[in-house]
Amino acid sequence: MRILRLLLFVFLFPVFSPVSLQAHEGMWLPHLLQQLEGRMRETGMRMSAEDIYSVNNTSLKDAVLHFGGGCTGSVISKEGLVLTNHHCGYGQIQAHSTVERHLLRDGFWAGTKADELPNPGLTVTFIRRIEDVTDIALAGVTADMSEAERQSTIDRNLNDHAPSVRREADEDIFFRPIYYGNQYLLFVTLTYRDVRLVGTPPESIGKFGADTDNWVWPRHTGDFSLFRIYAGPDNRPADYSPDNRPYDPVHHLPVSLGGVKEGDFTLVYGFPGRTQQYLPASAVAMTLESVNPPRIAIRDTALHILDRAMRADEKTRLQYASKYARIANAWKKWIGENQGLTQTRAVWKKKSLEAEFRERVESDPRYHSLLEELDSIVATVTPYEVAAQYHNEIILRTVEIFTPARWLQTLAARYAENGEKGYADYLPRVRSALAGFYKDYRPDLDKEVFVALMQLYAQEGDPRLAHPIIFQSFAGDGAVQMASTLYSGTLADAARTLALLDLSPEALTNAVQADPVIGLYEQLQSHYKREVGQPLARWQDEMDQRMRRYMAAQMEAFPDQPYYPDANGTLRVTFGQVEGYQPEGRPRYECQTWLSGVIEKYVPGDYEFDVPARLRELEERKDYGPYGEGDRMPVCFIGSNHTTGGNSGSPAMDADGHLIGLNFDRVWEGTMSDLNFDPSICRNIMVDARYILFIIDKFAGARHIVDEMTLVNTRR
Ligand code: ARG
Ligand code: GLU
């Protein structure tokens, strides 16, 4: 009897906590935090919701910014100093690097404001205000409308509303659906356009451990860089000018010297990009079983070939370092995602939830067959989703020779559509893109990747959906033969390709039409669009409509659960605690790493694990200044905050809103939090604020930058 009850309990437990929303799951909308204030205080917070987000008063949100559109940053001095990740500022740091002045390798610290380096095109955006505009957006929308009618009604409503939104002349607005279009939000934003590089550690600190340690805990990376916002005379946004002045912020985050202890409250404030928490079990199973395996296998194949070449030749290593990092980042994330989904039985958990959902809505005709419909759409789209992976991964992302093909094809199309003028306008872009491409291109290496991936495509691709030429011409030796033709042609040769740009538009058009690589690319693209892309988009529409209803249905069926919208690149708050974890089959991981661990990983001369001499000396002398903890120097720590891509560079704050860390990654198995957050293994990784201060002050001797900040120490 007892065993039976126990079994019942074990079986029913997940059903009784339906959305299984645990301690620290959630990417919360900052303007709705009142509802969570109690829970946040129970977790240790000493602030109010109003301290975090307020329209009328200064709040933490005024120090948080969208950095360059894809990352997050925060203001950490009264002179507009911005903290973000090294990997977020990477493009700018690289752009300023030359052989004589190698910022990536040596680091950079502006001695005075005059030394700070401008970055054309780089912007930072603050959120001024968020408002719920659901009633306005959905006015006149009825249940029996077609999707197209519904969308055009909403678009019209929001367009009509836009001019009446209260804002300053230099502020922008945009609208975003949340909960699959059940609700709509308005964002009023302010974007600064003069953002200068102030400081960065060398790669051997900022990218320490590189791809081997990426997504991995224990971690020892000082992944930070510093920028400064400049403003016009009125402190408002202005184009770059030497006369601009450092931005005087509404709020800047004090930086804590107090450090972190297991169990401490943490709040991460930033711009998470995309999550899908509310999908049915069948869709999660599709990602786990059908979508992730082929894309992992494709990237695996390419990475092996690139790795061998990069290890054999230093020039190749430099040429391919950033391409390799890009391919490896998502590859590794998907592997971890699958491990985590399996280990936490995410699909099973979702299924038990759905059983409960079915019971609750059984008698409701609106939702009655909803899950069956969703499951059947998922079953239908699965082969299309898989076919999309093969095409996108191989043709669009990994085989490089299709990149110049795309540029030249577009140039010829501009000429066909807009004549001489269209051609002339577009030509400079193509010229600089191609020059950049060929600088880091090794055709022999790309040929090897091409052969391996096309063979894989011919072997594993779906003959019903992929172009027949894949199976006819690229199986086995076919790929080798095709490659020797294609890679002895124009596009494999930088000089010959760039020479095309000196031809007349007609002659270029003729060359484009005759080129075998461009011909192959066009065939594959148009076949893909017709056979896979278009049906997939139609099914995606069907899926979205039902997800909108399923989302609403979940909220009705489980009304006691707190809900948060999926990440969509808008400002969110996540909170949690400093917290270690127990990976499967390994000893428990502590929540903090130390500089001694950097030294343990040190491999002299290695491109991932070299350590600067100065840093080794400081560790040897235990010369940590005021930043160490006893006889150790903290480096990184982990917490149970729910984050995703886009949260890179997000400030991590303590119970009082002081900066204690800088978010930059998640632990490997925890990357499944994009589909199903599980508090047992989902952890975010942060650089300890004390390590950042130590590197600036003790390692780089840039004490003047630390002096700008407001340092606090509440622990002592
Ligand atoms: N995994 C982190 C993110 O998704 C860091 C990526 C940059 N580092 C790298 N080795 N690729 O952005
Ligand atoms: N590195 C990621 C980024 O660039 C953050 C890590 C994550 O995905 O959580 O946003």
CB 224 within 8 Å of CB 206:
yes
**604 Cα: distance to centroid of ligand 2 (angstroms):** 28
Task: Establish whether 223 is a catalytic residue.
Answer: yes
> In sequence order, what are the residues at sequence separation of 6 or more whose Cβ sits closer than 8 angstroms to the Cβ of residue 647?
72, 268, 270, 271, 272, 574, 663, 684
**The token pair that represents 667 in the structure block:** 């632990």
pLDDT in tens, 558-611: 998 889 999 999 999 999 999 999 888 889 999 999 999 999 999 999 989 999
Q: 180: closest CA among 563, 641, 673, 682?
A: 563
- What whole-number distance in Å separates Cα of residue 517 and Cα of residue 525? 12
The SS3 assignment for 593 reads: strand
End-to-end distance of the chain based on CA atoms, in angstroms? 54
Q: How confident is the model at residue 6 (pLDDT cuts 50, 70, 90)?
A: very low
Q: Does residue 646 line the site of ligand 2, with CB under 6 A?
A: yes
Given a contact cutoff of 8 angstroms between Cβ atoms, the answer to whether 51 and 59 are in contact is: yes
What percent of the chain lies above the pLDDT cut of 90? 91
**Closest C-alpha among 658, 674, 649, 652 to residue 268:** 652
Residue from 24, 66, 86, 87 carrying the catalytic annotation: 87
Average pLDDT of span 363-371: 90
Residue having the nearest C-alpha atom to atom 3 of ligand 1: 665
Q: Are 228 and 248 in contact (CB under 8 A)?
A: no
**Neighbouring residues of 476: CB distance < 8 A, sequence distance ≥ 6:** 455, 458
Alpha-carbon gap, residue 385 to 564, rounded angstroms:
27
3-class secondary structure, 661: strand
Considering only CA atoms, which residue is closest to atom 2 of ligand 2? 645
Ligand 1 pocket member 70 (CB < 6 A): no
Tell me the mean pLDDT in the region 257-263.
96
Active site residue: 648, 654, 673, 674, which one?
Answer: 648
Burial class (CB in 10 A: 0-12, 13-18, 19+), 343: middle
Ligand nearest the Cα atom of residue 68: 2
Catalytic (active site) residue 467: no
pLDDT at 23: 60
Atom number in ligand 2 closest to CA 644: 9
Rg, the chain, Cα only? 27
In this prediction, residue 10 has a pLDDT band, given cuts at 50, 70 and 90, of very low
Rounded to whole angstroms, the Cα distance separating 505 from 511 reads: 10
Q: How far is the CA of 334 from the centre of ligand 1 (A)?
A: 13
Which helix (H) or strand (E) is 666 found in, with range?
strand 659-666
Domains and CATH numbers, the chain: 1-123+193-275+564-716 (2.40.10.120), 281-555 (no CATH)
The predicted-structure confidence for 138-194, as pLDDT tens digits, reads as follows: 999 998 898 899 999 999 999 999 999 999 999 999 999 999 999 999 999 999 999
Q: Which amino acid is at 532?
A: V
Question: In the annotation, is 654 catalytic?
Answer: no
pTM, two decimals, is 0.93
Span 604-647, pLDDT tens digits: 999 899 999 999 999 999 999 999 999 999 999 999 999 999 99
**581 phi, psi to nearest 5 deg:** -155, 170
pLDDT tens readout for residues 649-670: 999 999 999 999 999 999 999 9
Q: Which atom of ligand 2 is nearest to the CA of 87?
A: 4
User: Which atom of ligand 2 approaches the CA of 329 most closely?
Assistant: 1
Total Cβ atoms within 10 A of residue 537: 11
Q: What value, to the nearest 5°, has the Cα angle with vertex 291 and ends 286 and 294?
A: 145
Cα 82 to ligand 2 centroid, rounded to whole Å: 18
